[in-house]
Structure 1
């Protein structure tokens, strides 16, 4: 019984990471919209904010005597994870925000659970359980209800909606990749800054392409302050992401976006002045139900192996 109790307590850490990390994602999407309003391009805002977050997390890792590993396997991990999970996905989402709204982007970040769950089943990372499958489907239906209303709006930009929807696909690929290729004996504290540094390098190379730039208006304090705030948000977000990856698995990790939607949409409505999405109550309720089912299913999975020896005895 003590083992079962400890198993249940072990789910407190991933739950805290899930809700705290999801809240930061919701805040991040709204900061990205505000950044465009004060004259920052999505690429410049993302580049400098990620650089600040990389510095913060690298300093934290060095203070804990856990520097990023420098093996060939680790470098592969950093750059592939950076491309699909950070640089590529966030650049698509941040670029789409001015055209489709921060609320919509916060909602579609909830889409990775189904793709992640299917990939995890195919690669035998996750065993199939009815409860967790129902939770993922419920969250997906909730986002689908909201996305369908967005497509049917008369002012909808189909191109930018499609661009935004590509972001969750990359996020789901990243969830699976990071689980499969996690370097041996590497801690989340060590891996997070390595991935962010790789993201900064990739975005910096993109800034050299004609038509793209990472320059910021240095004479104004508001853009610089916004970049610093986003850097702190990114630092917390990606550290929690890696902790959740290690303690909760790829499917629970993918629900970060669902929590981000629950936080990001009200912020977009009440603080950014966006119109509430049609079907918000139904969609948010289904998302919350999905989170509950997936989480409780994970608790049962962790407890059942510990119950079997007692039952056999």
Structure 2
């Protein structure tokens, strides 16, 4: 999620219907995607294989859309660098961690920590001096991190806790935050968001394909398992919609609304994991989720105030 990109400011009254629909639909897709990863594990579909073919399918879908719109991905040295690095941290690396961790720590836990990247992105932006310090947003970051700390501590205390998988799952939001900062600093000149999305997914598919060449990794899917094939097709459509909506939201709603995608995904993903997947609620869910929610709200509110001040100055 690119929290820090700065779309052109319009002085006309904004139309919030389109960005609101993008926000809600994109968040729902993120929450559903997390739970599909758990279902894939129940079908004995390897996380790498599930992710590779889903990303490949999504890349094909978005490439066709870009072709129809005559917005093909730019092909130059700068864009190739962008595709490779953004794909590694924003798509391939982070999603492989999430998909692999879901069977080990639960879809509910993963859905909750997906709300963290915008907060970590803001923290990184302060360190890199991309954005000025704001007390309200800083309090929000601290609250959200405390919420994750509560969830992680309760997760560690369970009898069957896997320290490795819990720590690995917590690395996913960090990678996404790094991707947000990278895409802000290295965005190719004159490139539209919709033209960059398929290029990034194609690069992610290539990276995942390279991982499959390592020992003990495979992207093979039994062709006789119709449920697995249908699940991959559904996930490919979800990924295509998720990334397309993400870029549309960035263009129409700006970074404040974009920062709420993970929170909406958590709101959808956790109940689905509990009521449809039969998961036990994560320990410390009420306190942890409340702190994360407060954190997201404060960071968003602070962003709104900053945006208003910027418009008034203009």
For the criterion TM > 0.5, the same-fold answer is yes
Q: Conserved in 1, the CA contact under 8 Å of 2:119 and 2:296?
A: no
More helix by share: 1
1:290/1:11 CA distance change after superposition, 3 Å: farther
Task: For residue 66 of structure 1, report the CA deviation from its aligned partner.
Answer: 0.5
Which of these residues, 111, 122, 125, is aligned with residue 127 of structure 2?
Answer: 122
Is residue 188 of structure 2 the alignment partner of residue 183 of structure 1? yes
How many pairs are equivalent? 305
Q: Distance in 1 between matches of 2:164 and 2:144?
A: 24
Task: For residue 140 of structure 1, report the CA deviation from its aligned partner.
Answer: 2.6
Is residue 110 of structure 2 the alignment partner of residue 105 of structure 1? yes
Q: Conserved in 2, the CA contact under 8 Å of 1:11 and 1:299?
A: no
Q: Conserved in 1, the CA contact under 8 Å of 2:55 and 2:204?
A: yes
Is residue 312 of structure 2 the alignment partner of residue 307 of structure 1? yes
1:292 aligns to what? 297
Task: For residue 214 of structure 1, report the CA deviation from its aligned partner.
Answer: 0.6
Q: Conserved in 2, the CA contact under 8 Å of 1:44 and 1:216?
A: yes
Deviation larger for 32-41 or 255-264: 255-264
1:205 aligns to what? 210
Is residue 49 of structure 2 the alignment partner of residue 25 of structure 1? no
Task: For residue 199 of structure 1, report the CA deviation from its aligned partner.
Answer: 0.5
Task: For residue 259 of structure 1, report the CA deviation from its aligned partner.
Answer: 2.5
Deviation larger for 143-152 or 167-176: 143-152
Task: For residue 147 of structure 1, report the CA deviation from its aligned partner.
Answer: 2.1
Q: Distance in 2 between matches of 1:10 and 1:277?
A: 38
Q: Conserved in 1, the CA contact under 8 Å of 2:112 and 2:289?
A: no
Q: Distance in 1 between matches of 2:304 and 2:106?
A: 36
1:266 aligns to what? 271
1:248 aligns to what? 254
Q: Conserved in 2, the CA contact under 8 Å of 1:113 and 1:136?
A: no
SS in 1 for 2:14: helix
Q: How does 1:1-313 map to 2 (within 5 A)?
A: 9=14, 15-246=20-251, 248-249=254-255, 253-308=258-313
- Which digits, 9 at most, give the CA deviation of each residue in 1:102-140, with x for residues without a partner? 111112222323431121112233222222223333333
Deviation larger for 297-306 or 59-68: 297-306
TM-score, normalising length from structure 2? 0.89
Task: For residue 6 of structure 1, report the CA deviation from its aligned partner.
Answer: 5.0
1:192/1:12 CA distance change after superposition, 3 Å: same
Deviation larger for 152-161 or 133-142: 133-142
Q: Conserved in 2, the CA contact under 8 Å of 1:83 and 1:202?
A: yes
Task: For residue 304 of structure 1, report the CA deviation from its aligned partner.
Answer: 2.2
Q: Distance in 2 between matches of 1:296 and 1:129?
A: 11
Q: Distance in 1 between matches of 2:214 and 2:263?
A: 34
SS in 2 for 1:274: coil
- Which digits, 9 at most, give the CA deviation of each residue in 1:33-55, with x for residues without a partner? 10111121000000000011001
1:38/1:276 CA distance change after superposition, 3 Å: same
Task: For residue 193 of structure 1, report the CA deviation from its aligned partner.
Answer: 0.4
Q: Which runs of 5+ in 2 are unaligned?
A: 1-8
TM-score, normalising length from structure 1? 0.89
Deviation larger for 103-112 or 291-300: 291-300
Q: Distance in 2 between matches of 1:159 and 1:148?
A: 13
Q: Distance in 1 between matches of 2:15 and 2:302?
A: 14
Q: Distance in 1 between matches of 2:88 and 2:143?
A: 29
RMSD in angstroms over aligned alpha carbons? Answer: 2.3
1:191/1:248 CA distance change after superposition, 3 Å: same
Q: Distance in 2 between matches of 1:162 and 1:285?
A: 21
Q: Distance in 2 between matches of 1:201 and 1:5?
A: 38
SS in 1 for 2:220: coil
